[in-house]
Amino acid sequence: MDILSVVGLVLAFFALVGGAILRGAGAMALVSVEAFIIVGIGTIAAICVQTPLSVMKHALSIFPWAMKPPALNPENLIKKMVEWSNVARKQGLLGLEPVLNQEPDAFVRKALQLVVDGSEPDAIRGIMEVELGAREHADTLGAKVFEGMGVYSPTLGIIGAVLGLISVMQNLADPSKLGPGIASAFTATIYGVSLANLFFLPVSAKLKVAIAAQAQVREMVIEGMISIAQGENPRAIESKLQGYLH
């Protein structure tokens, strides 16, 4: 669990509700069914029009990374690959076959399979970079679903506010309703801007960092497996791969 995500969401709640109370607007000023319908449902509407079903499913499946990014453990991967390079130098590439079934990560396993099959280094790189690129592309489309919601929700907050103001303006004759009417119109703005800036955009940004970190680790795996296929010195491999750890 990424501790900062929890801290951030708690602080966001505190800043909004605490701020509303301290300001004298009261916490109830933040509650509005109409604003929820316009901003919440409107944002969902926009993102549904924008997103193919398969991308939407993928976005939901990677959403947990915002709270708990996938465990990458590149140090451990380096240790494993150095071990494998030792095995390969002693027993030949076929000596890695028993390892193949124990490897839990599908990406690493595919690369290892290519090495065991005796593929050319260039072929390994070509095939694995297609794999890396396709996964990164799919994950990035998922992260962009949340970015899209962060772009649409403030504009739906504006629509909600303007609808509220229209309602107020139609009843200007009764000044006693003017203030509360405008106040409630603004709630939609708060919803739209808060959802975007305290949730959707930060979540999308965090997913993108997690995706980039994963891609970098996979670049490292490709580099390492090619070095193994070329029978490079285990210590040289270790030193090279450690360059990715920064």
Pick the binder of a second copy from 79, 97, 171, 231 (CB under 8 A).
171
Q: Is 52 in the site for a second copy (CB under 8 A)?
A: yes
- In this chain, which stretch among 83-91, 92-100, 153-161 interacts with a second copy, using CB under 8 A? 153-161
CB of 39 to a second copy, least distance (A): 8
State which of positions 32-51 bind a second copy (CB under 8 A): 33-34, 37-38, 41-42, 44-51
The smaller minimum CB distance to a second copy, of residues 36 and 99, is found at 36
Sign of CA dihedral 239, 112, 92, 226: negative
**Beta carbons within 8 Å of 174's beta carbon, 6+ residues apart:** none
Q: Determine the Cα–Cα distance for residues 88 and 97; give it in Å rounded to an integer.
A: 10
Is the Cβ–Cβ distance between 150 and 69 less than 8 Å? no
> Phi, psi (5° rounding) for residue 34?
-60, -45
The DSSP code sequence of 35-58 is: HIIIIIIHHHHHHHHHS-HHHHHH
CB of 81 to a second copy, least distance (A): 15
Q: Is 231 in the site for a second copy (CB under 8 A)?
A: no
CB of 234 to a second copy, least distance (A): 14
Question: Quick one: CA torsion of 175, 176, 178, 179, rounded to 10 degrees?
Answer: 140
Pick the binder of a second copy from 90, 102, 104, 173 (CB under 8 A).
173
State which of positions 86-125 bind a second copy (CB under 8 A): 110, 113, 119
CB of 84 to a second copy, least distance (A): 19
